[in-house]
Structure formats: structure tokens, C-alpha cells
Amino acid sequence: MTFNRRRFIQATGAGAAALVMPTIAQSQTGPIRVGLMTVKTGPLASGGIDMERALVQYLKERNTTLAGRKVDLFVGDSGGVPAQARTKIQELVERDKIQVMIGPLATAEALAADDYIRQAQLLTLSVAAAEDMTQRKPNPWFTRGTSTSSQCSMPLADYSHKTLKMRRMAVIADDIAYGHEMCAGFMRVFEENGGKVVQRMFPPLTVPDYGTYLAQLKTDIDGIFLGFAGSNGFRYLRQFNEYGLRGKVTPIGGMTALDEAVLRNMGDEALGIVTSCWYSAEIENAINKKFAANFRVDWSYDPGFYAAATYVEAAVLEATLNALKGNIEDKPSFMKTVRNIKVDTARGPVSFDRYGNVVGNIYIRKVERKDGRLVNRVIHTYPDVSQFWTYKPEEFLKNPVYSRDWPPAKNLES
Amino acid sequence: MPYWIIQTLNSLALGGLLFLLAAGFSLIFGLMRIANLTHGSLYMLGAYVGISVLKYVPNLWLAAIIGGVIMAVFGGLVERLILRALAGNALGQVLVTLGISFIIADLCLMVWGGDPIPVPTPPALQQPILVGGVTFPTYRLVVLAIAVVTALALYLLMDRTRIGAMIRAGVDDMQMARAVGIPVSRLFTAVFCLGAALAGAGGIIGGPIMSAYPGLDADMLPLALIVVMLGGVGSLLGAFVGSFLIGAIYTFGTALLPDLAYVILFLPMIVVIAFRPTGLFGRQSV
């Protein structure tokens, strides 16, 4: 190709125009630059890799085009380290020029990046469950399509009291904000219903062995709520059986205790356990049936919490872009639109509250065997649950954030 | 009362598991003077290798032996090819072991994936047994027994054999050992193989309790460090006593003072190091 004068003028002219008016040059025509902030190495990698797989599947199913514009996907790996998440997000924004971010995965990562997200005005569709990012300290650029820590545990508390007829319970959870928030939400709703949480344990996240906690567990109780994440629920349940506790105490679990990701390596010890989550691979709707089937074809296992998370966030992104006719460049109107959108997703219908958190179905699931594998069959649906459960948002927000100390545990027995 | 029996058994079983982990770490630390930061990774890799071996050999004990041998070979290669190149540069060696641990962690993630994988308990040991009116997992008592037998075997090796005497000589005064013609460099390889084999076999034997999952390495390494710091570097007796001490402190500590679960393991180590820097049974090396 010869480089004649005309071409030169065209090229430099375009370049100059791009320099002067970068947003206009990009607007409407160029590809949309989507960043996925995930974890592909370290202990959280299992979920993080699923996040990427499901997002790639979503884009592939749409020929990598959303709202008529091509999509360029950039993937960052934080290793699950909060400080690194912040650096990687900065890299995605400043080097890869992403316009919207899906992620990060973990609560601590989201908190570490909170300032930067505000400063860079980065459109964020997050998976991380940290309560206050959509409650008392809402970040205007942060929207969450999955759930807060307690959004799934509060309905489970209701269910365990009203349907499972539990009255005296123990709770155990990882000793991190996520575990505290989940347990606090569970305890509040369970005790306001008239139940009693008589024992509470917070083992360190990296506890080598649950033996000492299992020996302490009371056996004169109806059930124990498991607020574990990652592989901890899996390890706890195995040891629970080892100590012969199966049949003496009924375990029930939060949204990450018996995720599809750990179920596929479990055996009969998981059968019959009830958990609550905003998703199950078994949800009967057309979108999810297609999603789960395609995912299973590609990877030969069921999608779980993390895969569904990016698949749902991608649906939220697409619906928002459709409403804006692909104009992602106008950030304030993107944030306004995303919080007013209603969209059908793999988890069912999704909308948002004014704090940027999802309002959607919460499913009570029970582990069963189906076609030789373990699945979380949906046995009950709480429709359109918000992060405030049945409380009025204003009153809910007057209380301190859920934690180890709030609400106070009044019924603990030593 | 049954509660205290269970907790006592718990502490003993945890101590047994810790000994399998820490014995090799202590020997390597004592002889080579480096904190082998791949030790947790060797434990994890052993667990994963064991899981793969179990697909072909459906017997946990055989898998532990095969896995141990594989890890010994692996450890020998690491020592010969990598650590040897940095001989005399202790800081460099410690850093390189840290680097290898990252590589192993990512390799495991690539090969075995990120999901936790259970190691099945041998069928005969699956039922909990009744001990003095309390139910306790049979398998954990077996782990305790294995740890005690391993400790005895190592004691005989170190105390009654020529190679054991040479290792002890190297731990106490390396230069003098070299001067009297002990092939210290070959001992390095032998001890590294032994340590890796113990860690790997420990990973498999601990498998039915711990499972294999990404991050297992980082969970185990600090425990090995604490045990060895407390018991004394290079001392088998130190590793043995340290393991059961830590097992007991951890179990009773978290039961009685649950809010101190994080520091409870480190407090005794700090106290011991403050008053006896070589650990309970460590000797001042020359």
C-alpha cells in the first residue's frame, strides 16, 4: 500500500480529530470495551474462572455484539488479593480503556477498589456482596445484580422457621465480613420470627480443621446454619459426617455453602440439605435452561453462583445498552438507566433499588440426585426480594450494618 | 466430660497430622539452614498426586507410598537442579523456594482445577467409633497412630543408623562434618527427598480430613513454621513435641477462647522465641 498525500491527510486528520474529541470519535461506532475483573489464580480461582467462562459464553451467543456494537473483552486477574485487584482495575481502565467493568469477585476486593471506582467514575456491575456498598455508603457507580451477603440468608431464616419448623439453631460462618453479615441477617429474621440462635461460631477463614468446632456443637438443637464460602462448606460437611453428626443435627446453608461448584465433587453426605441462593442451575425458565445446557456442553458441569453471576450481569448490561441504543459513553445516563431497568435473566426477573442493589427472586433449594449428579432443586421461591427483606429501607438503614456485634445475640447458651 | 475427651482426641489427631507435615520441614531447615517455603506446596501436590494415583490404585495407603516416592523424586530434582545452583546463597534459596511454591500452586490449578477434591476415607474406617462413651472419627485415630509410627521410624533412622549420625553431624556443625569427610552435599539431596516424601505422603494421609483445594499450601506452611520454631530447628523430638503442643493449644485455645483463634497459635511461639531463641529442643548450631 502506497502512502500518498491524500491518505496521509485522511490519517492525520482522523488522528487529530480523535485527539481533540476522543469521546465523539469513539462514540456509537467503535466497539464497547468491557472489562472483567476476576480471579484466575489462587484459592478463589474456581469461581473466577467460571465467571470468565459464562461471560464469554454470553457474548458468543450474541456474536460478541451488544446493542448493535461489537464488544471487546479485557480480563484482569487479581489472584484474590485486594491490593492487586485495585491495581488491575486501574490497568484495565487506563491501559485497556474499558468503559464498563463486571466484577470484582470478592467483597474485600470491591472495598479496596471503592475509591478508585468513584474517582474514575467507572461503571461497575459487581458480584461482591459487601452490604454497605449499596446501603449506608452507596457508591454511585456501583450496581450489583447478584445479592448482598444477607439477601439470601434472611429468606432462609424465614423458611427454616415457618416451613422446616426449626426453633433452636446454631450458626457457623467464616470469620470475614461476608460470614458475619450473612449470619447477622439470618439471626435477626430467625429470632424476630420467634426462634432462638443458641450457639454461634466464627472459625478463621483458613482454619486447618473443624474438629474442635464440631466437638463444641450442641446436639440439642434443630439445625445449624452454614455461612461458608469457597471450599469450606464442603470440608465442614465432610467432617460433620466423620464425627457422626449426620442425623443428629440438620445443616442448612447460605448461598455459597453448597454451590454447584462444590456439589460436583461431593457424595451422599450432601443429599437433602436445604440452602438458599438467588440462583440454581435447576431454575425452570427458558433463559436458564439454555444457559445451563450450553454451559454443560462446553464444560461438562453445571453452572453455579459465579458463572450465573456474570451471565446475569451481562444480561443487565445488554438490556441497559439496548435502552440507550448502545450509547455507553454517557455515564450518568447509563447509571440512571441501569437502576431503572427490568430484565429477564437466567435467575428470573431482575430490577434494582435506588441504592443500586438487585431486587429479584431468592430460591430455597434442596440437594438431590438427578441423572447421576447432585443438583440444587428449587423447592420454594421468594419472589422479588430486596436487600432490605421485608423491612422499610429507611428503618433498615438506621441500624448499624450487619456484623459480629449487630444485631446482638441475646440467646446464646454457653 | 465426653466433650473434653473428644477435644483431647482432637488435639492428638491434629498433632499427628502436624507432625507428618513438620518433620520433613524441620530436617531440611536444620541441615540446609533454609526455610523451605515449598513445603506447604509439596504437601498440597502430594494430596493432588495421591488423588490421581487413587484412580488407578484404589488403596489409600498404597497411594500414600506411591505419592511419597513421586514427591521424593520431585524434591530431589528441585534440590539438584535449582537449589544446588544457588549453593551458599541462603537468602536466594529461600526466595527460590517461594517462587517454586507459586509455580506449583498454579500448576495444580491447571491440572486439577480450582474446585476442592475430596480424598475418600478407606471404607473400613468410615464409621465413627465409640471411645469411652463418645463418638470419634476412626480415621483420625489411625492418622495419630501413623504419626507415632513415623516418628519412631524417623527416630531409629536418625539415632541408630550411620546416615542418621551423618545428618546430625551436619546439623550440629556443618564445616566440621565436611572436614571429616561426610558427603554433606549428598546428604542435602537425601534429606530434601525425605522431607518432600514425608510432606507428600502427609498430604495424602491428611486428605480424607483436609481434602485437596487451592490454598491448602498456604494454609499448611505457617503451621509447619510454627511447629518448628516452637520445637527447635532440626530436632526430631522438637518437631514431635511441637506438633502435639500446637495441636493441643489450637484445639483447647479455640474451644475456650474462640475470639483469640488467630493469635492463639502464635502466642506460644513468640514466648518461646523470646526466652529460648533456638526453640524448646533446638541446639545452637555452629
Provide the shortest C-alpha distance from residue A205 to chain B (in Å): 10
Query: Could B215 and A216 be called an inter-chain contact, meaning their C-beta atoms sit closer than 8 Å?
Result: no
B255 contacts in chain A (CB < 8 Å): 212, 215-216
Average pLDDT on A346-358 reads: 96
Angstrom distance (rounded) from CA A356 to CA A102: 14
Average pLDDT on B86-94 reads: 89
CB-nearest partner of B116 from A211, A215, A231: A231
> What is the per-residue pLDDT for B3?
83
Q: A348-352 and A343-345 as β-strands: parallel, antiparallel, unpaired?
A: antiparallel
Query: Could A209 and B209 be called an inter-chain contact, meaning their C-beta atoms sit closer than 8 Å?
Result: yes
> What is the per-residue pLDDT for A414?
76
B258 contacts in chain A (CB < 8 Å): 201-202
Q: Are A144 and A114 in contact (CB under 8 A)?
A: no
The domain ranges of chain B are 2-116+137-275
Average pLDDT on B131-149 reads: 90
A contact residues 269-288, partner B, Cβ 8 Å cutoff: none
Q: CB-based contact (8 Å) between A300 and chain B?
A: no
Name the strand (E) or helix (H) holding A66: strand A65-66
Mutate to test the interface with B, among A231, A269, A405 (most CBs of B within 10 A): A231
How do residues A135-193 score in pLDDT, each as one tens digit? 999 999 999 999 999 999 999 999 999 999 999 999 999 998 899 999 999 999 999 99
**What whole-number percentage of chain A has pLDDT above 90?**
80
Contacts of range A265-270, beta carbons closer than 8 Å, 24 or more positions apart: A265/A234, A265/B115, A265/B116, A265/B117, A265/B118, A266/A234, A266/A237, A266/A374, A266/B118, A267/B118, A269/A237, A269/A238, A269/A240, A269/A241, A270/A237, A270/A367, A270/A374
CB-nearest partner of A215 from B6, B109, B258: B6
Query: Could A215 and B109 be called an inter-chain contact, meaning their C-beta atoms sit closer than 8 Å?
Result: no
How do residues A48-101 score in pLDDT, each as one tens digit? 999 999 999 999 999 999 999 999 999 999 988 899 999 999 999 999 999 999
Query: Could B209 and A242 be called an inter-chain contact, meaning their C-beta atoms sit closer than 8 Å?
Result: yes
B176 pLDDT above the threshold of 50: yes
Cα–Cα distances in Å, from A412 out to A142, A169, A187, A219? 37, 10, 11, 14
B133 pLDDT above the threshold of 80: no
A24 pLDDT above the threshold of 60: no
Residue A246, strand partner residues: A249
**What whole-number percentage of chain B has pLDDT above 70?**
99
Q: What is the CATH number of domain A22-128+285-296+303-346?
A: 3.40.50.2300
Q: List b or e across A191-229, with b for residues whose CB sees 16 or more CB atoms inside 10 angstroms.
A: beeebbbbbbbbbebbbbbbbbbbbbbeeebbbbbbbbb
Question: DSSP string spanning A339-400?
Answer: TT--EEETTEEEEE-TTSBEEEEEEEEEEEEETTEEEEEEEEEEEEE-TTTTS-HHHHHHSP
How do residues A361-404 score in pLDDT, each as one tens digit? 999 999 999 999 999 999 999 999 999 999 999 999 999 999 99
Angstrom distance (rounded) from CA B264 to CA B272: 13
Query: Could A209 and B255 be called an inter-chain contact, meaning their C-beta atoms sit closer than 8 Å?
Result: no
The domain ranges of chain A are 22-128+285-296+303-346, 153-283+361-398
Mean residue pLDDT across chain B: 90
Provide the shortest C-alpha distance from residue B109 to chain A (in Å): 7
On the question of a common fold for A22-128+285-296+303-346 and A153-283+361-398, the answer reads yes
3-state secondary structure of B254: helix
Q: Which residue of A has its CA nearest to B125?
A: A242
Average pLDDT on B168-173 reads: 85
Q: Which of A267, A275, A279, A270 is nearest to A303 (CA)?
A: A279
Half-sphere exposure of A122 (CA within 13 A, CB side): 32
CB-nearest partner of B261 from A204, A234, A242: A204
Q: Is the dihedral of CA B138, B140, B143, B147 positive or negative?
A: negative
Grade residue A23 by pLDDT with cuts at 50, 70 and 90.
very low
A175 contacts in chain B (CB < 8 Å): 261
B contact residues 201-220, partner A, Cβ 8 Å cutoff: 208-211, 213-215, 218-220
Q: CB-based contact (8 Å) between A23 and chain B?
A: no
Query: Could you tell me the pTM of the whole model?
Result: 0.88
Q: List b or e across A290-313, with b for residues whose CB sees 16 or more CB atoms inside 10 angstroms.
A: ebbebbeeeeebbbbbbbbbbbbb
Mean residue pLDDT across chain A: 91
Q: What letter represents residue A264's amino acid? A: R
Locate A215 and state its grid cell: 466437638
Grade residue A22 by pLDDT with cuts at 50, 70 and 90.
very low
A12 pLDDT above the threshold of 80: no
Give the lowest-confidence range in A185-199, B42-56, B141-155, B176-190: B176-190
Give the lowest-confidence range in A13-17, A222-226, A256-260: A13-17
Angstrom distance (rounded) from CA A100 to CA A324: 14
A265 contacts in chain B (CB < 8 Å): 115-118
Q: CB-based contact (8 Å) between A163 and chain B?
A: no
Angstrom distance (rounded) from CA B164 to CA B281: 18
Q: CB-based contact (8 Å) between B14 and chain A?
A: yes
Interior CA angle at B114 toward A82 and B94, to 5°? Answer: 65
Provide the shortest C-alpha distance from residue B229 to chain A (in Å): 19
Provide the shortest C-alpha distance from residue B170 to chain A (in Å): 33
Q: CB-based contact (8 Å) between B10 and chain A?
A: yes
Q: Which residue of A has its CA nearest to B106?
A: A41
Residues in chain A: 414
DSSP letter, residue A225: E
Q: What letter represents residue A230's amino acid? A: G
Whether the upstream peptide bond of residue A407 has omega within 30° of 0, thus cis, is yes
Sheet strands (E) in A178-273 = 196-201, 223-227, 250-253
Q: Which of B4, B21, B73, B78 is nearest to B209 (CA)?
A: B21
Task: Report, at the CATH architecture level, how domain B2-116+137-275 is classified.
Answer: Orthogonal Bundle (1.10)
B104 contacts in chain A (CB < 8 Å): none
Grade residue A1 by pLDDT with cuts at 50, 70 and 90.
very low
Grade residue B96 by pLDDT with cuts at 50, 70 and 90.
very high
Query: Could A265 and B117 be called an inter-chain contact, meaning their C-beta atoms sit closer than 8 Å?
Result: yes
* Percentages of chain B per state (helix, strand, coil), in multiples of 5: 75, 5, 20
CATH 3.90.180.10 fits A153-283+361-398, yes or no: no
A42 contacts in chain B (CB < 8 Å): 105, 214-215
Average pLDDT on A225-236 reads: 90
Average pLDDT on B11-19 reads: 94
B219 contacts in chain A (CB < 8 Å): 206, 208
* Percentages of chain A per state (helix, strand, coil), in multiples of 5: 40, 20, 40
